[in-house]
Amino acid sequence: MKDKSFYQDAPDYCHSFFDLVSTSDLLSELEKSCRYTHKLFEKIPAEKENYSYQKGKWTIKEVIQHIIDCERIYTYRALRFSRFDSTELAGFDQEKFIQNYKNSLSDFSDLKEEYTIVRKSTLALYQSMTEEMLNFKGKANQATFTAKTLGFMVVGHNLHHCYFIEKMYLNSGDSSFL
């Protein structure tokens, strides 16, 4: 992204996610990454849903669940910050989340629907935010964020994992439908 003015409102580890975002129009980027993800879903054959490219790595379904879980967490944080709540928020252990998900019998079609519902909720949340709400700084996982930077984290994190699925799970590396 060309506009890097808000990078200072998030820790350095977020910047690689921000670099995957092409514009500073958050709502547009949320919609675009959602379309990209739906197109990726269409490319995943049933026999690859539970596929892992290497022993000990997550399956495609687990990666999709991870995207959903993180979006929920990031938008919860954004909601708190957009309401000017300065309470420091805790981090989370993504490995424990996935380990506990492994016990779930989620069908891939259910995951796709869940992704869509969560993204619609994210869009509705961000559509209601003023600039002041977007720019309020709060702390989560011992780092400073704004609701805006968390929104771009949703987009960049989503794209990061979709690109990774393309390359490592589907062996296509084709992100041309973005």
The closest of 157, 160, 143, 150 to 122, measured between CA atoms, is 150
pLDDT at residue 178 greater than cutoff 50: no
Host H or E run for residue 145:
strand 143-146
* DSSP-H helix ranges across the chain: 15-18, 26-43, 60-82, 94-101, 108-127, 131-135, 147-164
The mean pLDDT of the chain is 90
82-91 residue pLDDT tens: 999 999 999 8
The domain ranges of the chain are 23-43+59-169
Comparison of pLDDT for 12 and 175, the residue scoring more: 12
Q: pTM of the entire structure?
A: 0.91
> What is the predicted pLDDT for the residue at 98?
76
Least confident segment among 8-22, 38-52, 86-100: 86-100
pLDDT at residue 19 greater than cutoff 90: yes
Domain 23-43+59-169: state its class.
mainly alpha
pLDDT at residue 152 greater than cutoff 70: yes
> What is the predicted pLDDT for the residue at 105?
63
> What is the predicted pLDDT for the residue at 103?
54
